[in-house]
């Protein structure tokens, strides 16, 4: 039998275990850090790291062409041979047998080869270095892009959180109006149709709240999925859309920062250098290659009856004709080089355009913020005046409902203005190549 204290303790433990985990508080910067975690971050980021590892492995493969190659082998054979087929034919008194054997041969040997000079191999290594540099810049660009995507998803969830708060406030206003109408009727100043209107507004506000709550939860799930988090994990976003620092950017400052900071531009420039190095490596296949070799071993009729032998030498290989392969490869790489140069020039022009448009959009959305704040204040004053007039009995609740609708629209417009301004800041940071999309 369990004592009363033991039962109470077990019930307490069960109640603690049954309590849901508190929501995980998360700022935008924390979300970005999670997405860029090396082992558990976003799939796109981890894939870019794997691509870099592949480029480094290719460099090691190309470097192997200039390093010594060492091999060893052991051979034991028993054979017969036709001496006449080897050119030992009877001449005069020399009458060798046509068939010799069977005889045994044992051969154990170590062989080393070393490329002493190969322009093509050297340039292949250089092109691999360029490829690694390109992939590193592409990896940094992937970080910038993922940071921007996280910021957009976070901002979208933050906007819906603000809309959810606005929907709850709308429901509160509708319920407040319903209570006011019911008091007016009790005092003989209200009508049944006014109470019906007020109930209808409460029903609409509840429906809007349910829809907004669903959209908000969906946005949080999408953010958690992008961050590779458990979808059962509840998130509590701590940033606010109205936390905006003033802008101090001019066009010359922005375009210079964009040219210096855009990692996709750096990646294209590195790709141009890589294509040039690969073209040089292909052209170098027309040049001679010098190789050295050395081998040492022991040979005899059996493992117990052998004598050591060795050989040292060098060979020069001069390419003469490869069926036109070198020319075709060079033509392909020249075309690739021209394409990458065109892409680099086009990206530079696009960066300039995006910077101009992004800066103009920032100024536009900043102006809309001021208009939205003013409209909300006017709508709040309108609601207060309409409620006073209705309490005084000089108007119907239609005026209050209309004023509340104006306030709801003003709040929605302000939330949209804040969202558009923050979105413009994210896009502008992406244009400038700022990794964490934080503008000073």
Give residue-wise pLDDT tens across range 118-148. 888 888 888 888 889 888 888 888 888 888 8
Provide the pLDDT confidence category of residue 48 given band limits of 50, 70 and 90.
confident
Residue 194 has pLDDT above 90, yes or no: no
Instruction: Please write the tens of the pLDDT for every residue from 100-110.
Output: 778 888 888 89
What pLDDT score does 251 carry? 83
For the ranges 46-50, 76-80, 81-85, which has the lowest average pLDDT? Answer: 81-85
Q: Give the per-residue pLDDT at 17.
A: 45
In which band, very low, low, confident or very high, does the pLDDT at 339 lie, cut at 50, 70 and 90?
A: very high
Q: What is the pLDDT of residue 439?
A: 47
Among 241-250, 333-342, 355-364, 422-431, whose mean pLDDT is lowest? 241-250
Is 80 exceeded by the pLDDT of residue 432?
yes
From 42-46, 210-214, 351-355, the region with the lowest mean pLDDT: 42-46
Encoded tokens for 54: 């592949």
What is the pLDDT averaged over residues 148-158?
Answer: 90
Predicted confidence band of residue 247 (pLDDT cuts 50, 70, 90): low
Highest mean pLDDT among 61-70, 169-178, 343-352: 343-352
174 vs 15, residue with greater confidence: 174
> Is 291 within 8 Å of 313 (Cβ atoms)?
no
Q: Does residue 343 carry a pLDDT above 80?
A: yes
Q: Say whether 315 sits in a helix, a strand or coil.
A: strand
Q: How confident is the model over 343-366, as a mean pLDDT?
A: 90
Neighbours of 92 (CB within 10 A): 5
pLDDT of residue 111: 92
pLDDT computed for residue 10 by the predictor? 53
Domains and CATH numbers, the chain: 25-67+127-287+327-432 (1.20.1600.10)
Q: Is the CB of residue 346 less than 8 Å from the CB of residue 423?
A: no
* Residue 311, helix vs strand vs coil: strand
**Residue 217 CB-density burial (10 A; 0-12 exposed, 13-18 middle, 19+ buried):** middle
Q: pLDDT value at position 9? A: 53
In the predicted model, what is the mean pLDDT of residues 356-378? Answer: 89
Q: What is the pLDDT of residue 7?
A: 53
**What is the C-alpha to C-alpha distance for residues 54 and 407, in angstroms, rounded to an integer?**
58
pTM, rounded to two decimals: 0.74
Q: Does the pLDDT of residue 338 top 90, yes or no?
A: yes
Q: How confident is the model at residue 206 (pLDDT cuts 50, 70, 90)?
A: very high
pLDDT at 263 over 90: no
Tokens read off for 112? 């080393």
- pLDDT score of 119: 85
Distances (CA, A) of 120 to 67, 209, 210, 296, 378: 14, 69, 68, 29, 75
pLDDT surpassing 90 at residue 282: no
pLDDT score for 362:
86
pLDDT averaged over the chain? 84
Position 437 scores a pLDDT of 45
Q: Is the pLDDT of residue 345 over 90?
A: yes
Whether residue 113 is preceded by a cis peptide bond, meaning omega within 30 degrees of 0, is no
Of the pLDDT bands very low, low, confident and very high (cuts 50, 70, 90), residue 1 is: very low
- Tell me the pLDDT tens digit for each residue of 283-316: 888 888 888 989 988 888 888 888 888 888 888 8
Q: pLDDT higher for 379 or 38?
A: 379
State residue 349's pLDDT score.
92
Output the DSSP codes for 227-295.
TT--TT--EEE---TT--PPP---HHHHHHHHHHH-HHHHHHHHHHHHHHHHHHHHHGGGS-EEEEEEE
Collapsing DSSP to helix, strand or coil, 1 comes out as coil
Q: Which two tokens stand for residue 188?
A: 């003989």
Q: Is the pLDDT of residue 6 over 70?
A: no
Across 228-241, average pLDDT: 84
């Amino acid at each position: 039998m369990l004592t009363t204290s033991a039962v109470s303790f077990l019930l307490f433990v069960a109640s603690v275990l049954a309590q849901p985990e508190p929501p995980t508080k998360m700022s935008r910067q924390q979300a970005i850090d999670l997405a860029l975690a090396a082992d558990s971050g976003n799939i796109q980021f981890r894939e870019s790291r794997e691509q870099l590892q592949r480029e480094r492995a290719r460099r090691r493969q190309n470097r192997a062409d200039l390093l010594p190659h060492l091999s060893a082998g052991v051979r034991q054979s028993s054979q017969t041979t036709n001496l006449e087929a080897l050119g030992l034919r009877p001449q005069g008194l020399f009458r060798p047998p046509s068939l010799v054997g069977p005889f045994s041969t044992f051969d154990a040997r170590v062989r080393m080869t070393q490329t002493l000079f190969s322009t093509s191999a050297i340039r292949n290594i250089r092109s691999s270095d360029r490829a690694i540099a390109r992939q590193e810049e592409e990896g940094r660009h992937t970080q910038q892009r993922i940071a921007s995507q996280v910021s957009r998803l976070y901002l979208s969830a933050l906007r819906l959180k603000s809309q959810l708060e606005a929907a709850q406030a709308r429901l509160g206003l509708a319920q407040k109006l319903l209570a006011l109408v019911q008091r007016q009727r009790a005092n003989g100043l209200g009508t049944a149709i006014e109470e019906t209107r007020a109930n209808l507004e409460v029903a609409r506000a509840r429906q809007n709240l349910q829809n907004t709550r669903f959209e908000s939860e969906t946005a949080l799930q999408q953010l958690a999925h992008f961050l590779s988090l458990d979808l059962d994990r509840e998130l509590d976003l701590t940033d606010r859309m109205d936390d905006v620092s003033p802008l101090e950017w001019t066009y010359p400052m922005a375009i210079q920062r964009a040219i210096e900071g855009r990692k996709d531009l750096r990646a294209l420039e590195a790709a141009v250098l890589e294509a040039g190095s690969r073209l040089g490596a292909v052209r170098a296949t027309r040049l001679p290659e010098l190789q050295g070799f050395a081998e040492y071993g022991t040979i005899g009729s059996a493992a117990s009856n052998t004598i050591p032998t060795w050989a040292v030498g060098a060979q020069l290989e001069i390419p003469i004709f490869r069926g036109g392969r070198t020319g075709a490869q060079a033509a392909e790489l020249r075309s690739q080089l021209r394409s990458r140069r065109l892409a680099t020039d086009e990206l530079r022009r696009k960066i300039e355009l995006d910077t101009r448009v992004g800066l103009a959009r920032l100024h536009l959305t900043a102006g809309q913020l001021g208009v939205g704040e003013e409209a909300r204040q006017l709508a709040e004053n309108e609601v207060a005046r309409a409620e006073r007039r209705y309490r005084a009995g000089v108007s119907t609740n239609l005026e209050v409902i209309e004023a509340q609708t104006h306030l709801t629209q003003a709040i929605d417009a302000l939330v949209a203005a804040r969202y558009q301004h923050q979105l413009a800041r994210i896009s502008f940071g992406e244009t400038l190549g700022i990794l964490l999309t934080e503008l000073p």
